Amino acid sequence: MPSVPHLRSGDQLAGRYRIRHLIGQGGMSRVYLAEDMRLVGKQWAVKQSLTEYENGLSFREEAEVLIGLDHPFLPKLVDYVPPTEEGVAYLIMDFIKGKTLQKLHEEEGPLGPERVGKYALQLCELFRYLHEHRPKPIIYRDLKPSNVMIDEQDNVRLIDFGIARNYRQGGTVDTIQLGTLGYAAPEQFTRTQTDPRTDLYSLGAVLYSLLSGGVLYPSRPAPGSFLASGQAEGWRSLIAKLLMERPEDRLQSAEELGRELNRLLAGLKPLGQRNGPRGESSTSDGARLVLVGSLYPGAGSTFVAVALARSLDRLGQASTLIEHAGNRPELFALLGGEQTQPYGYSSYIERPGPHRPEQTSAWMHGRSEWLPLPPDYGGRGRSEEWTEEDYYRLLYDKKGPVTIIDCSCDWGASSLLRLSRSADYLVIVGDPMAYKWSSHEAMETIAALESVPDNSGKIVWVANKCTPFRQMKEWLRAFPDPPLCRVPLLPEKLLLESAWEEKLVQDHKEAASVLQETLQPLLKRLASPAGVKPPGRRTAFLTRLL
């Protein structure tokens, strides 16, 4: 570091921060531990640096980047001490108790695939936040084990934003090329612009190093014992996709990487080869993930989800229907409850324990597999107990080509917001009750859907409970996009008879033919080509309603 005076124990900054000792030093800065003279017992990390770096962001620019960020895997900037006469300034940040990944690796040796995978998933989540930051995405550009702290809760905390930069859309060249040999992407040393794929390359290099005993890529090949585990081939394949020389040949986003990591950690085969200019992945068997939810409570997401599953069954297509952990239990009763549940069945939400077998009987109805919540389950208050990773483990264990999750109106659940990014379709159901369209729940649902990246073509609107009424055209125009399907309001007689007979109304002969016809546009998208039948003649019942 250029000639900047060392701080000594007892030195004070801004009349508030008393220096205790040096805790870290890099090429452009030093970091000290300090105690707060106003808040007794509070400790801070004090980063000291010249106001202007020779390369990368100025110190003030680094402060401006950090002050605008708010993420649990980042340290929080709390104060900025202006430059002294020597041109030295200070950032006051959270003091993170823990060790860097580099230190952990030196002390403990290989950390193991599961632990490394956990940290990689957290870095994926953080990079997704940085790369989607507004008004400008942020490219970190300096990921390496020494810049990743592992705190006392065993979570990552990314430190040192000294060479981060704002991504310039349409730009072709970085002002300064920077990076750490062994971890930096090739474009960081050529006259090309870095972008989110640059950070993914560095993450791949970090994984390579941690899982190979400290070997830097591409200094020399990893030893033959590289990941001598049952998942070795999956990790090799994933890391190879990250370390491609050309950015366009790599995985294209933190979201895409997160999906593959989840599958790998669940003990599954990697996703199929990338098959498009944007680098989308798909499973080799063409499986579909569909989230069905209401625009507001009571619009009929469960009705539509069950209708989809049973209609696919009649096309010869297997499917799995999962009732999301944030719902109020409803599917169990609709299916007939204890009278019809198979012997040895246990709800997916009841995690394996000493008295619960890991494998339980599947609740099947034809080709439809049901995963309802227990009737006494707590619902919304417990929705966060099941994470995105839990659902990935559940989803990709299913053999059917279509998995449907009934989300009710719980779009705010973090697991659903993240699953929405991976879903093939988000089916949103609305009914003709006008006063609900301006409700708080409807506005929250719209906001959640707008936050899903690349949602164009993914969101499908379904008009439920369609029946002729004077304002019907106005109602249909209220949908953000024209509804793909118009599901009729079934006669109350059918609903009551099915309920008393403890049968699904969707399987009633008269209702089934109507639902099959009205859901045909969506069924075409979900069913395999061999299973789709051409639309038949509309029934008199359907014509009378619509």
Written in H, E and C, the secondary structure of 296-321 is CCCCCHHHHHHHHHHHHHHCCCCEEE
Residues 207 and 215: beta-carbon distance below 8 Å = no
Residue 516 token pair:
């099959």
How many alpha carbons lie under 13 Å from residue 533 in its C-beta half-sphere?
Answer: 13
Which residues neighbour 497 within 8 Å (Cβ) at sequence distance 6 or greater? 508
DSSP for 413-469 reads SHHHHHHHHH-SEEEEEE-S-GGGTTSHHHHHHHHHHHTSTT-TTTEEEEEEEE---
Question: Domains of the chain by range and CATH?
Answer: 12-94 (3.30.200.20), 98-265 (1.10.510.10), 288-350+358-545 (3.40.50.300)
- How far apart CA 142 and CA 203 sit, in angstroms, is 10
Within 10 angstroms of residue 94's Cβ, the number of other Cβ atoms is 16
In this prediction, residue 303 carries a pLDDT of: 96
In this prediction, residue 510 carries a pLDDT of: 87
DSSP for 514-539 reads HHHHHTHHHHHHHS-GGGPPPP-PPP
How many alpha carbons lie under 13 Å from residue 438 in its C-beta half-sphere?
Answer: 2
Residue 513 token pair:
């033919």
Residues 76 and 95: beta-carbon distance below 8 Å = no
Side chain identity at residue 466, one-letter code: C
Q: Which letter does DSSP use for residue 353 in this model?
A: B
- What is this structure's pTM? 0.50
What value, to the nearest 5°, has the Cα angle with vertex 290 and ends 392 and 309? 110
Q: Is 73 helix (H, G, I), strand (E, B) or coil?
A: coil
Side chain identity at residue 491, one-letter code: P
- How far apart CA 360 and CA 347 sit, in angstroms, is 9
The strand pair at 88-94 and 43-50 is best described as: antiparallel
pLDDT along the chain (546 residues), means of 10: 72 87 74 88 83 51 73 82 76 85 84 84 88 81 86 83 47 43 73 77 87 68 49 78 86 85 64 32 57 93 96 90 90 88 80 46 86 77 62 65 89 77 90 89 85 79 94 91 94 90 89 94 76 38 34
Report helix angle 232-242 to 196-211, nearest 10: 150
The strand pair at 288-294 and 98-100 is best described as: unpaired
Provide the residue count of the chain: 546
- How far apart CA 358 and CA 356 sit, in angstroms, is 6
Residues 232 and 226: beta-carbon distance below 8 Å = yes
In this prediction, residue 4 carries a pLDDT of: 64
In this prediction, residue 331 carries a pLDDT of: 92
- How far apart CA 449 and CA 289 sit, in angstroms, is 16
Residue 285: phi, psi to the nearest 5?
Answer: -95, 10
Q: Is 152 helix (H, G, I), strand (E, B) or coil?
A: coil
CA dihedral 378→382→387→392, nearest 10 degrees, is 10
Give tens-digit pLDDT for 435-464.
898 888 888 888 888 877 767 778 999 999
